Chains A and B, each alone.
Chain A
Amino acid sequence: MLLSRVAERVYWQARYLERVENSARLLSVFSNLLLDLPKGTKLGWRTLVQITGSEDSFDARYKQDSERNVIRFLLVENNGFSLLNMLAAARENARTTREIMPMEAFELVNDLYFYVRENAAGGVGRGPRHKLLDEMIATCQQLWGLLAGTMSRDSAYAFVRLGRGLERADMTTRIVDVGSYNLLPSLREKESIPESIEPYANILWMNILRSQSAYQMYRQHVRNRVNAVDVVKFLIQSEEFPRATAHNLTTLVKVLEALPNNGKALRQVHKTRRMLKSADFEALLDTGLLQYVDDLQVELAAVNDKIAQTWFLPNR
């Protein structure tokens, strides 16, 4: 029997951990790009602030969107958007669901939290940052493996999959945003994105693929050279690639079908899937991917609301 309150905490534990993993991936795309681009190329670090939806909070603290400020803000600072805070929230949810999760799961999250707390400030510098981010991504992967290998396929595991699946679907759309913010012609004038990055478009898209560990799979399944339309299609619409938004929505459908009273949540996921399937990214990339991604995120947020209304709210 899974208590509603516990279901909610398990769900959020999974969401926060997935958010930690993807935010670490997001920071590492940027940090890796630096290494690939020729000296003197400027990167729009502000993009990271925009993608995470933290502009107001960031601007209240900083005047300049320099690499150092952005990284400090998103890595160590005490605000709702920093990796350290997300990890603290994941740990708190893990601490309060210990009675139903495998014992080693809490130990892993707990250890990662202490590791990041001790090393996050050092990660503001470029050198140690890679190791820190890699460690975070690797530990999250280890955790998913642990849960997959040790948890019975019961309702608790269902809520792990719901939380992770929805968060992953959402975060992948945000990572796709990195590319569109930097490269879309329609934006270039408006937001003064540095002209000099244009020739390196495919380096950027390649890094975006790499950040999602998707480069190899893309190569195997999409025979074209790396280009904006195919990358976006792969990351959003692929049913086979496990970090793609479409794949995760299909997972949500499978998980939801096994839960009681699933009507509302299922309908909302199906609605979102239709929106994914019918999208014409070639046209969208010309006219405005940003608006489309925003709309998609609104639908994903509605999935979250339906899940909460159905299974968590009776508790209040």
Chain B
Amino acid sequence: MRVNWKTYDPGHFFDEIISSPGYARKPARRLASYLRSLTHEALLERKTAAELAIKTMGISFTVYSDAGNIDREWPFDIIPRPIAESEWNRTSAGLQQRLRALNCFIHDIYNDQKILKDKVVPAELILNSANFRSQCVGVKPKFDVWAHICGTDLIKDKDGRFYVLEDNLRVPSGVSYMLENRRVTKRVFPELFDSHYDILPVTEYPAQLLETLSAISPRKQKSPEVVVLTPGIYNSAYFEHSYLAQRMGAELVEGNDLVVEKDMVYMRTIDGLTLVDTIYRRIDDLFLDPSVFNKGSVLGVAGLFKAWLKGNVALANAPGAGVADDKIIYTYVPQIIKYYLDEDPILPNVPSYLCIDKKQCQHVLQNLDKLVVKPANESGGYGMLMGPQSSSKERAEFARRIKADPRNYMAQPLISLSTVPVLGERIVEPRHVDLRPFVLQARESYVTAGGLTRVALVKGSYVVNSSQGGGSKDTWIIGGI
């Protein structure tokens, strides 16, 4: 049996491979006909080979609840998701524009607060934000950049356009899986990586990341000492921390490997203490420094914040950068872009309703069964109300929460996520996907070729988070199209 693109039915959703029964979209044509040339059994064999490769390569993520077996293999679907280069170039320009504007915004918030004085963004939204760090007021990081690494979640609606769903400016993860997915796909479909199909490489990310981190070093030297700060081997993203350190040739440190003396940061090595220039920290602001933030934190190191304030060490992302990735601030990003860059946003937001606005809140409360309600500061898909799938009890509970703390909630219509075929046991079927590209900014900015495509492996589901049954796919930017 072979895949039949005539009976493959994505329903009323936008499918990224098939445009109408039997017809593939331009960047996907070669892939679709290649998949058609293999029997389903042959495809399943490739799938088994991919699973074996993932197991051997130790591509894993950590699940806290699975006591005993802390590392779980990364769920992966072998059918890649192709995107035309021309479309990607537009998207990439939009992502860079967005991060540039967000960095202007963060810098302004911690310095002159012009945007608040001009009442483009209400001041109380910022000053009451859980991610606003008053300790950072007056700081001027190198290049005025606070968020050096951003993971932006994009989705495609029925119209086939990319929309921004959220910005992740704190410690976005997933980029190692983007890189490893490509490595696995090359093993699984080596035939497709030939001169007839221009699949753009993704491998330069670690080098770009190292360049970004080196550029922000407080000292001028040829190769600054860059370290990756991880919460440790039991963190769910430990694989990624170790992977990126390995690929950059940077040290992977834990809090107790670091020590601060006279406001300088050192790491403990077998040669004694060694000065650290840039810390790519993969722990949250509040755990960075027990002498300033969370007193009980053992993940960070005392004195780190002061060393950063004095400009003796660079932190990426800078503490306080999260003030711009709150889901309420998100709704203001189009105005933020206009305000700082005097440009129209290239990438649209998903339409949103703010509960802090009385009229919009009324609308949300009346349409809870149609909307997706999100709290300002949760991530990983937690603490949300999926209106259309919710019970009346859940809706009543959310109505109560919204009324009690309107600042903390926003709502969006349920966007119809686009679909991509996944390989099932018997047939190839459409499943919903999103996309997380990674954007870097220091002196220059950079966007990955594609990003991490996450896929909801359960039929009809929109939940793509790996902690909740999601998987991932390789993303192909097809050159020349």
- Residue from B233, B252, B257, B267 whose CB has the most chain A CB atoms within 10 Å: B252
Inter-subunit contact A98/B56 (CB<8 Å): no
Instruction: List CB contacts (< 8 Å) of B215-248 with chain A.
Output: 225, 228, 233, 242-243, 245-246
A1 surroundings in chain B (CB, below 8 A): 225, 251, 267, 269, 271, 274
In the A-B complex, the 9 residue pairs with the smallest Cβ-Cβ separation, listed nearest first, are A99-B245, A99-B246, A99-B252, A1-B269, A311-B270, A98-B242, A99-B242, A1-B274, A96-B233
A314 CA to B225 CA, complexed, in Å:
20
* A7: Cβ under 8 A from any B Cβ: yes
A111 CA to B233 CA, complexed, in Å:
20
Instruction: List CB contacts (< 8 Å) of B45-103 with chain A.
Output: 55-58, 71
B208 to chain A, nearest CB (A): 18
Instruction: List CB contacts (< 8 Å) of A1-55 with chain B.
Output: 1-7
A316 surroundings in chain B (CB, below 8 A): 256
A103 CA to B183 CA, complexed, in Å:
13
* A69: Cβ under 8 A from any B Cβ: no
Known: A1-B269, A260-B272. 10 other contacts (CB 8 A): A4-B257, A4-B269, A4-B270, A5-B254, A98-B246, A99-B228, A99-B252, A107-B58, A110-B55, A110-B56
* B268: Cβ under 8 A from any A Cβ: yes
Partner of B58, one of A95, A259, A315: A95
With A1-B251, A95-B233, A96-B242 known as contacts, the answer to whether A106 contacts B58 (CB < 8 A) is yes
Mask, A94-136, CB within 8 Å of B = 1, is 0110111001001100110010000000000000000000000
B positions within 8 Å CB-CB of A: 55-58, 71, 225, 228, 233, 242-243, 245-246, 250-254, 256-257, 267-272, 274
A95, closest chain B residue (CB): B58
With A1-B269, A3-B251 known as contacts, the answer to whether A107 contacts B257 (CB < 8 A) is no
Inter-subunit contact B225/A114 (CB<8 Å): no
A8, closest chain B residue (CB): B270
A6 CA to B257 CA, complexed, in Å:
10
* A139: Cβ under 8 A from any B Cβ: no
A96 surroundings in chain B (CB, below 8 A): 233, 242
B245, closest chain A residue (CB): A99
- Residue from B58, B253, B274 whose CB has the most chain A CB atoms within 10 Å: B58
B56 surroundings in chain A (CB, below 8 A): 107, 110-111
Inter-subunit contact A260/B270 (CB<8 Å): yes
A1 CA to B270 CA, complexed, in Å:
8
A107 CA to B54 CA, complexed, in Å:
10
With A95-B233, A100-B246 known as contacts, the answer to whether A3 contacts B253 (CB < 8 A) is yes
Inter-subunit contact A314/B268 (CB<8 Å): yes
Instruction: List CB contacts (< 8 Å) of A63-110 with chain B.
Output: 95-96, 98-100, 103, 106-107, 110
* A202: Cβ under 8 A from any B Cβ: no
A106 surroundings in chain B (CB, below 8 A): 58
A316 CA to B233 CA, complexed, in Å:
17
A94 to chain B, nearest CB (A): 9
Q: How many residue pairs at the A-B interface have CB separations less than 8 Å? A: 68
A37 to chain B, nearest CB (A): 40
A102, closest chain B residue (CB): B246
A155 CA to B251 CA, complexed, in Å:
14
With A1-B225, A5-B257, A106-B58 known as contacts, the answer to whether A98 contacts B243 (CB < 8 A) is yes
A94, closest chain B residue (CB): B58
A positions within 8 Å CB-CB of B: 1-7, 95-96, 98-100, 103, 106-107, 110-111, 114, 155, 259-260, 311, 314-316
A152 to chain B, nearest CB (A): 11
B470 to chain A, nearest CB (A): 23
Inter-subunit contact B57/A107 (CB<8 Å): yes
B250, closest chain A residue (CB): A99
A82 to chain B, nearest CB (A): 17
Inter-subunit contact B71/A95 (CB<8 Å): yes
B241, closest chain A residue (CB): A99
B252, closest chain A residue (CB): A99
A95 CA to B242 CA, complexed, in Å:
9
A7 CA to B251 CA, complexed, in Å:
12
Inter-subunit contact A3/B269 (CB<8 Å): yes
Inter-subunit contact A315/B270 (CB<8 Å): no
A82 CA to B274 CA, complexed, in Å:
39
A159, closest chain B residue (CB): B270
A297 to chain B, nearest CB (A): 26
A5, closest chain B residue (CB): B257
A103 CA to B58 CA, complexed, in Å:
10
Inter-subunit contact A114/B55 (CB<8 Å): yes
A169 CA to B357 CA, complexed, in Å:
74
With A1-B251, A98-B243, A99-B245 known as contacts, the answer to whether A259 contacts B270 (CB < 8 A) is yes
B335 to chain A, nearest CB (A): 42
Inter-subunit contact A315/B271 (CB<8 Å): no
A311 CA to B245 CA, complexed, in Å:
22
A106 CA to B239 CA, complexed, in Å:
12
Inter-subunit contact A7/B270 (CB<8 Å): yes
A155, closest chain B residue (CB): B270
Inter-subunit contact A3/B268 (CB<8 Å): yes
A114 surroundings in chain B (CB, below 8 A): 55
A315 surroundings in chain B (CB, below 8 A): 256-257, 268
A106, closest chain B residue (CB): B58
A259 surroundings in chain B (CB, below 8 A): 270
A314 CA to B257 CA, complexed, in Å:
9
A316, closest chain B residue (CB): B256
B271 surroundings in chain A (CB, below 8 A): 1-2, 155, 260
B270 surroundings in chain A (CB, below 8 A): 2-4, 7, 155, 259-260, 311
A95 CA to B271 CA, complexed, in Å:
24
